[in-house]
Chains A and B, each alone.
Chain A
Amino acid sequence: MELFLMTLTTGIMVGGIYALVALGWVLIYKCSGVLNLAMGEMTLIGAYVTLSFYSMGVPFLLSLLFSLIIGFILGILTERIFLDRLIGEPVLTVIMVTVGLSFFFKGTLEFLWGTDTRAFTPPVFSIEPIRIGPLVIGSVYLWSFVAAIILLVIFVCFFKYTRWGLAMQATADDEMAALSLGVSARFVYAAAWAIAFMAAGVGGTLLGNINGLNISVAYLGLLVLPVVVLGGLNSVPGAILGGIIIGVLQNFCGAYLDQYFPGGVKEIAPFAFMVVFLLWKPYGIWGWERIERV
């Protein structure tokens, strides 16, 4: 029973981070229709930038802020240089450009920072676990969860109550109508990429704090794909719920199935689950069902 509760809480907390990264993904898809496979590398970029500032002695929150700014700039540059020219191209073309981008980012990152695991030294969060009743939770997990939730709330408020956020919502809803009302679609696309980069960067920093930072954190970033499929590709609440479900599922598989299938069940389970789920409900929990006509 204790193992069950522990796994559940850890799963929910890691799931919060996945939800944050998935939010960025859904945002890009909703606004510009780009299916982005470079999300894993985008989490890495943010994480490495934060780590570099942090190891130079900059306080953690300040280095996170720097990484947000750099993520913002990179996001706008990426959209302007690569994606802007591809509006209206076939889906495969756009997907492969994001794959190309992911290789470009990954190669550059590996070249600049190497492949060794790096840790945030001194540790940002205390090693002492936090006890709530019978539960023992690593403080990294708890703080990551809190940070992820705060950012999620900030993003949701941004969409609901600010002018820019409303413009982005309008474009996602009906691009033609938004254009005729004077919303600049190009601005919205760039903003979506910038926000996605920022969200991914924060997610990557938090993930890097848990187990140290190396290239395989990009794999965790890739987990957004099962998450968004579960929630529905164009649903923000779906991304949040999906993130938490995938986090829980992954930790349960790690805790219970690992003894039967030793090895990497924890890494594989989300993808295997996704395939089964796709066969049953291809549009996710809250995604829009597309009706096709010839």
Chain B
Amino acid sequence: MSTTFLPCGEYHENYREDHAWWQTRFIKTKMVLLMLVLFIGIPLVADEYWLSVCNQVGYTILGALGVQLLIGFCGQVTLGHAAFLAVGAYTSTLLILEFPWPRLLIDAGLAYPISIFIAALIAGVWCVLFGLPSAKVKGFYLILTSMAAQFVTVDFIITQYISQIGGRGQAFSLPVGTIKIGPWVIDSDLKVYFMMLVLVIVLVAAVVNLLRSRVGRAWVAIRDNDISAEVMGINVVQYKLIAFFVAGFIGGVAGAFWISNLAAISPEHFPWFWSLWLVGVILIGGVGSIHGTIFGSIFMVVVMELLQMAVIPLAASYPKLLMDFLFIKEAAFGLAICAFMIFEPNGLAYRWWQTKNYFNLWPFSY
């Protein structure tokens, strides 16, 4: 499904062209336009509210990317990815608040970037720890261990122990100005937006490239059939653990990024619901497709915002609707997953691929 056909009458003449990211001039123009819209268009047009929606989308993409890697490309189903986001967020926060940074680093604004990196490493290691059972079990049993990761990490370790560090009570508040990258203090939605954009582009590019490498092909082989992958000489356990590390790493980056958008973090930001939400996002977008991750994130966040807008006019006559909007959101999310699984099991990315190929192959589409 990942191959897209070239437009009528275009041929590659060497392997370099065949392996290029953006293969035709049309695609190159399109991507440059997309970058222009993302970096200049949206910040010019969008107001605070829509910028925060964009940030929400970006956070969902970052979180779902790791889930997509595990479920869509390595076949290791995880229902506890919010735990690794939480590990990333908490590591980064604790490093910023508690670690005795040298004056030099703080002045240079490097404390937060370094803490993101360390947080991502720790989240990756933590993810490998809970990925260890995958050496022995798979399928439904692995789902259960990932659920255990969620409950043990967030509901037990973080709530009961990590939150006690420094005697701050349940929530760690981040004073304004502590989150600083280089000379910029991240304090407005616009700055968060740019940071999100850079992170999303870097990580998506990294993951896409990783998938074209030996590691990525090994993952896909494991996903398709782990026994035959082993027969072919792939070290299954090793590559599974690499997948868990990379997924945890991306989750850690996502968590550490999200603290820039929050005034305080608490365990309630990483509930089990959020893990399932991320899985729902990739299912709606399309399993086994990077496009799917992005489409799914945009779809879920925007649809929920639209739903909220639709509810607001009704709230005058039924105030309960707005008060309990969270519950409506949950029910709608559940129904959306069921509907997509039943009627559109390949997700939005499949439709996108069909549409693209239709136009590429036009007028001889058979």
Contacts and interface: CB of A to CB of B under 8 A. Distances in A.
Interface of A: 35, 82, 85-86, 89, 91-93, 95-97, 99-108, 110-111, 225-226, 229, 233, 261-265, 267-268, 271-272, 274-275, 278-279, 282, 292-294
Which of B228, B283, B334, B335: most chain A CB closer than 10 A?
B334
Contacts of B341: 86, 89, 93, 96-97, 100
B231 A82 contact: no
Interface of B: 71, 77, 79, 133, 136-137, 139-141, 143-145, 147-148, 151-152, 155-156, 159-161, 225, 227-228, 231, 273, 276, 279-280, 283, 287, 324, 326-338, 341-342, 345
Instruction: From A35, A99, A101, A226, name the one whose CB has the most chain B CB atoms within 10 angstroms.
Output: A99
Nearest to B345: A93
B279 A264 contact: no
Contacts of A293: 227
A211 to B, nearest CB: 18
Contacts, number: 136
A106 B272 CA distance: 13
B294 to A, nearest CB: 19
A101 B156 CA distance: 27
Nearest to A93: B341
Contact of A86 (B140, B143, B156, B342): B342
Contacts of A102: 334
Contacts of A104: 330-331, 334-335, 338
Nearest to A41: B334
Given A110-B330, A275-B133, A294 B228 contact: yes
Contacts of B148: 271-272, 274-275
Contacts of B345: 89, 93
Nearest to A233: B140
B239 to A, nearest CB: 18
Given A96-B337, A100-B334, 16 more contacts: A85-B342, A91-B139, A97-B337, A99-B337, A106-B327, A107-B329, A108-B331, A110-B330, A225-B144, A264-B156, A264-B159, A267-B151, A268-B152, A268-B155, A278-B133, A278-B141
Given A95-B140, A96-B279, A105 B334 contact: yes
Contacts of A274: 144-145, 148
B290 to A, nearest CB: 18
Nearest to A262: B160
Given A99-B337, A103-B334, A271 B152 contact: yes
A82 B338 contact: yes
Contacts of B228: 294
Contact of A110 (B79, B161, B279, B327): B327
Contact of A294 (B133, B151, B156, B225): B225
Contact of B156 (A103, A268, A282): A268
B144 to A, nearest CB: 6
7 contacts: A102-B334, A103-B331, A107-B328, A110-B327, A263-B161, A268-B156, A275-B144
A107 B332 CA distance: 8
A267 B331 CA distance: 26
A223 B164 CA distance: 28
Main secondary structure of the interface of A (DSSP, over half): helix
B145 to A, nearest CB: 5
Given A97-B338, A100-B336, A271 B330 contact: no
Given A86-B341, A99-B279, A106 B330 contact: yes
Looking at B144, B161, B279, the one whose CB has the most chain A CB atoms below 10 A away is B144
B133 A103 contact: no
A35 B341 CA distance: 15
Contacts of A106: 327, 330-331, 334
Given A82-B342, A262-B160, A294-B231, A92 B334 contact: no
A286 to B, nearest CB: 16
A152 B79 CA distance: 31
Contacts of A107: 327-334
Contacts of B231: 294
Contacts of B279: 96, 99
B12 to A, nearest CB: 35
Nearest to B139: A91
Nearest to A282: B137
Given A96-B341, A282-B136, A275 B145 contact: yes
A229 B139 CA distance: 13
Contacts of A108: 327, 331
B282 to A, nearest CB: 10
A292 B230 CA distance: 13
Contacts of B332: 107
Contacts of A226: 144
A100 B287 CA distance: 16
A97 B331 contact: no
Given A101-B334, A103-B330, A263-B160, A279 B324 contact: no
A35 B155 contact: no
B77 A92 contact: yes
The 6 nearest A-B residue pairs measured at CB: A107-B331, A103-B334, A100-B337, A104-B334, A107-B330, A263-B160
A168 to B, nearest CB: 22
Contacts of A225: 144, 147
Contact of A103 (B137, B276, B324): B276
Contacts of B156: 263-265, 267-268
Contacts of B155: 264, 267-268
B295 to A, nearest CB: 17
A264 B159 CA distance: 9
Contact of A111 (B137, B276, B327): B327
